[in-house]
Amino acid sequence: MNNNTKWVACWGNATSITDRREAIYAKNITLRYPIKMCFSGSQLRFRFSNLTGTEPVTLSKVFVDHTPITFKGENSITLMPGKETESDAISHAVNQGDTVNVSFYLADYTQMNSGTLITGPLSKGSYAYGDFAEADELPLDLTRRTNWFYFLNTIDVLTSEENRAIVCFGDSITAQSWPDYLAQLALGTNASIIRRAVSGTRILRQYDCITYQAYGLKGATRFPIEMNVAGATDVIIQHGINDIIHPVGTDVNPFRPWSDLPTVEEMEHGVEDIYVKPARDMGLKVWSGTLLPIYGWRTYNEMRDQMRQELNEWLRTSPIFDGCIDFDAAVRSNNNPQAFADGFDSGDHLHPSERAYEAMAQAAANILLPQKG
């Protein structure tokens, strides 16, 4: 008997503006992304996004392993600018722990404007020059690895009723490894981990210059789009440090005026109005995530750290949340709580090390995941 009756997101990423470099077009290229299945299921469906593109994008061939992914019965799809497109439901049985390969071929000149840079043990892609969407292996001499995930936005699986999705919403901290480590801890439970994170993003502001366009859309624009997550029950909000550390004054950087610096109260209202209230309307539990140490970061000063500490206190104590995941407490030094603990700093004094990301994942798992065994 098939008990698969519920669509649940089993993998997800944000879609944002890619880094504006010299080359922004690709042609005759295959992209392949291996995705680990957190649930067993009988069907898959795929969302592709050209949300931040300004031109149509045609995926000439799209496969999951050797199974064609179709769109209203067609084997190719043109993604319109500013839009996201969902595939047909594809009969493709998967078991928990399987890895499936999503491959698509871009035959003609393609604007590579919609994608996001993510890292972690489960976030590794490849591209190859030529058409290899149906190949078992990509040719070694024509292939390179990439952590840019273009166009592929969400994968849903038709699975059993008890399964659910937890959304991790944030900036570069969340675009890096802790959601992958949390997904590893979640394997064997009834929870998937869906990452919705874009490096450089802020709650209240966004950049419109090509220098910082990859820093993405502001929270009010991102959140309602990115929270389109089948089977979601919870969202973790770990966002806001860029609002604090970015402004330096136009004499230092013409794109980062002091007028962009919010007050702590403005950030609190932003979190409540932009994230918490809409999430409640979606029927979700909302978990705050405290902001991490910034001591030693290039724009660090006591004023910025005081803002961080005040916001963290509110994140820990405000009754508007279902609870707090105290990421700050998980990674900070006991001797100097403004800084990372030994071995937990990546070296730039803003982003954690891999060990620290594992500690962040464990802090989230302790609260949100059922104990296995």
From 76-80, 271-275, 316-320, 366-370, the region with the lowest mean pLDDT: 366-370
Estimate the crossing angle of helix 178-186 against helix 354-368, to 10 degrees. 50
| Mean pLDDT (whole number) for 93-122 | 97
- What is the token pair recorded at 145? 């690895």
- Of all residues in the chain, what percent carry a pLDDT higher than 90? 96
pLDDT given for residue 372 in this prediction: 59
Instruction: Return the percentage of the chain with pLDDT > 70, whole number.
Output: 99
pLDDT tens readout for residues 149-195: 999 999 999 999 999 999 999 999 999 999 999 999 999 999 999 99
CA distance 42 to 29: 30
Q: Which residues of 153-168 are buried (b: 16+ CB within 10 A; e: fewer)?
A: bbbbbbbbeebbbbbb
Query: What mean pLDDT comes out for the span 284-308?
Result: 98
Written as one letter, the residue type at 78 is T
**In this predicted model, what pLDDT tens digit does every residue of 243-261 receive, in sequence order?**
999 999 999 999 999 999 9
Tens of pLDDT, residue by residue over 197-234, are 999 999 999 998 999 999 999 999 999 999 999 999 99
| pTM for the model | 0.96
CA distance readout (Å), 202 to 185, 214, 260: 28, 12, 10
Q: Taking the CB of residue 144, how many other CB atoms lie within 10 A of it?
A: 10
